[in-house]
Amino acid sequence: MSRKRLFVLLSAIVILSLVVSSFIIIGRIRNTALSLPVILVNYPSGGETFHSGETITISWKTINVPKNNPVNITLISTYGTETDITGLNGVRDTGNYKWTIPGSVNGSHEEIIIKGTLGGNSPISGGSSYFNITN
């Protein structure tokens, strides 16, 4: 075998090894990213205007979070004031919660934050986009 052919063959083997290694690394990164715990708030989705006294269904999806863990839902106002919607013990992670907006809430750029834990002191949270509440 000539030196030129041997060089081409060895180069092809090195390139093929690099390609296969890259696919293995990318696969591991994707599997790691997919296994991270996440809370996604689906509704409110942002831009809505709600009225005091109205009942809305807050909805969310948890990924890689134990289903028996409670979640707490908090309203964050324009001014940074936090109002706990679900109480200290939270609610079951069912993916939705009916909330009647109290008359005391009024503002723009409101946000819903859903907080949970992975057990112990490992917090996880997700938030909605901004919406408005009027009286």
Q: How many CB atoms lie within 10 A of CB 77?
A: 16
Higher pLDDT, 74 or 33: 74
List Cα–Cα distances, 70 to 73, 88, 125, 134, in angstroms.
10, 10, 12, 29
User: What pLDDT, on a 0 to 100 scale, did the predictor assign at position 30?
Assistant: 56
User: What pLDDT, on a 0 to 100 scale, did the predictor assign at position 121?
Assistant: 65
Q: Tell me the pLDDT tens digit for each residue of 10-66.
A: 777 878 777 776 667 665 655 555 678 899 999 999 999 999 899 999 999 988 887
Please give the model's pTM, rounded to 2 decimal places.
0.70
- Rounded mean pLDDT, 100-118: 83
